[in-house]
Amino acid sequence: MREFDLIVIGAGPAGTPVAMASSMFGKKVLLVDKRDRPGGECLFEGCIPSKVLENAANRYKMLKDASKFHVALKSNPQIHWEEVLKDKEAIIKRRADAAFEQIEKNPNLEYLQGEATFEDEFHIRVGDEVFGFKKVLVATGGKVNLPPFKGSGVEKAWTNRDVFFEKEIPKEIIFIGAGAISCELAGMFNELGVKCTILERGDRILKRVDSEAALSVQNRMIKNGVRIELNVNLQRVDFEDEVFKIFFSQNSKERVLQSEQVLLATGRVANVDNLGLKKIGVEYNKRGIKVDKFLRTAKEHIFACGDCIDAPRFAHTATYEAGIAVHNMFAPMPHEVNYDKNSWVLFTDPQIASVGLSEKEAKDRGFDVDVAKYDYKVDARAQIDKDEVGFIKFVIDKGDEVIKGVQILSEDASSLSGEASLIVANRMKAREVLNSIHSHPTLSEGFGKLAQQIFFKNMMKRR
């Protein structure tokens, strides 16, 4: 039986950085994953494939909108879906192979394909082989949450994992759920001419997102042709004669919709069921493995991070946690995770970016907050781009004037989120943001304009 200083279970954006960093520190590391290459779901079925589609949809939209900028095209634009899929496969292979090559060059790091289960709290089994370890990191990610819907169509419906393996674009899709996955994919497929419908049990889409931003996206989607049905109580999903039938009630009325394809996007849960955690005394539920602020489980030598713990589920957050985990496993002074500076982007139309605390989160935490907003209707760049829908919001603690959070709604919120991250991570105040000089005309100029607006407001109060 072979022994390792560290075994990492899961080679996604949490596990791979931990394995590589630990091996560079001279530790003997085994990295185990069910796939033959590292990358995790983000690379193979999530973030990267969806952004390849988003990129194609955006370019397609630009061509369709060319007339708004007085550009005449000789023919109607067309999308070649099979070529988009080839691009997706090429990018995935390039990234997975590059990561694998780095692993192979590291003499302290071994990669093993297989399913890992705990034999006891110091040994795991992969296939017919048992390995010992001093420490272990569980980074097995998340998986699709499939509620117990009734009907013959549930098992035939798509999840986000299936979308990017279809050789043809369907003519219509019904999305069940109105979270990030549904809203991103519905917007993208709608741009490509697919008839898209979203069924949501709540009274708006994106229920965990800033309400003003979410409603703006919702209105844009409806304007663009996406059908959104709210307050839906889904009853069953059947599949008959190559057609899905969705039965649901809405406002006390029974309804039925039919579609060529259905995509279930009803959330995600931790992928931990088959690890054997219960027999080694590691607590978990469907939300994830229970860890402390140092990412340790109840067993001090067993750590966990990424989508398999109850924390924000983003690839970049998992990589942030990976750095904390490596430090806490091998350095003398432990570091705590701090999600108050976490960030994320929704690639909807317009995009939504959030950094730090939202207004609701800040109030729930007991902060006395003020919210200041810069509206892109008055912005030169937004007017030039003919897309004035959007804003930048600062969530400010009245006590110390620190900007606790930034919310952005913009056609290019993803690019703007970097500055927002620096503002929140460095606990900046409006007057400190004002010290920077933003180029004109750019969308990032809004940060300076908003800081100036807050500064003048505070000066008036002190008069």
Q: How many residues does the chain have?
A: 463
Q: First and final CA of the chain: distance in angstroms?
A: 76
Contact 411, 390 (CB under 8 A): yes
Under 8 Å between Cβ of 287 and 269: yes
Question: To 10 degrees, what angle do helices 315-330 and 15-24 make?
Answer: 30
**Distance between CA atoms of 444 and 437, rounded to whole angstroms?**
10
| Phi, then psi, of 105 in degrees rounded to 5 | -75, -10
Bridge partners (DSSP) of residue 120 are 123
Q: Rounded to an integer, what distance in angstroms lies between the CA atom of residue 209 and that of residue 354?
A: 9
Count of CB atoms within 10 A of residue 245's CB? 18
CB contact at 8 A, 115 and 128: no
Show the beta-strand stretches assigned E in 139-205: 142-144, 172-176, 195-199
Looking at the annotation, which residues are catalytic?
A: 440
Identify the three-state secondary structure at position 314. coil
Contact by Cβ (8 Å): 238, 244: yes
d(CA 20, CA 103): 7
Q: What are phi and psi of 340, to 5 degrees?
A: -65, -15
Q: What are residue 429's DSSP bridge partners?
A: 402
Which residues touch 403 (CB under 8 Å, ≥6 apart)?
356, 394, 395, 396, 423, 424, 427, 428, 429, 430, 433
Instruction: Confirm if 169 and 146 have CB atoms less than 8 A apart.
Output: no
Which residues lie across from 109 on neighbouring strands?
A: 29
The residue whose two tokens read 């990669």 is: 111
Q: Give Cβ neighbours of residue 400 (< 8 Å, ≥ 6 apart).
A: 429
- 123-126 vs 129-138, strand pairing mode: antiparallel
Contacts for 72 with CB less than 8 Å, ≥ 6 apart: 66
Residue entry with tokens 């494939």: 49
Contact 152, 238 (CB under 8 A): yes
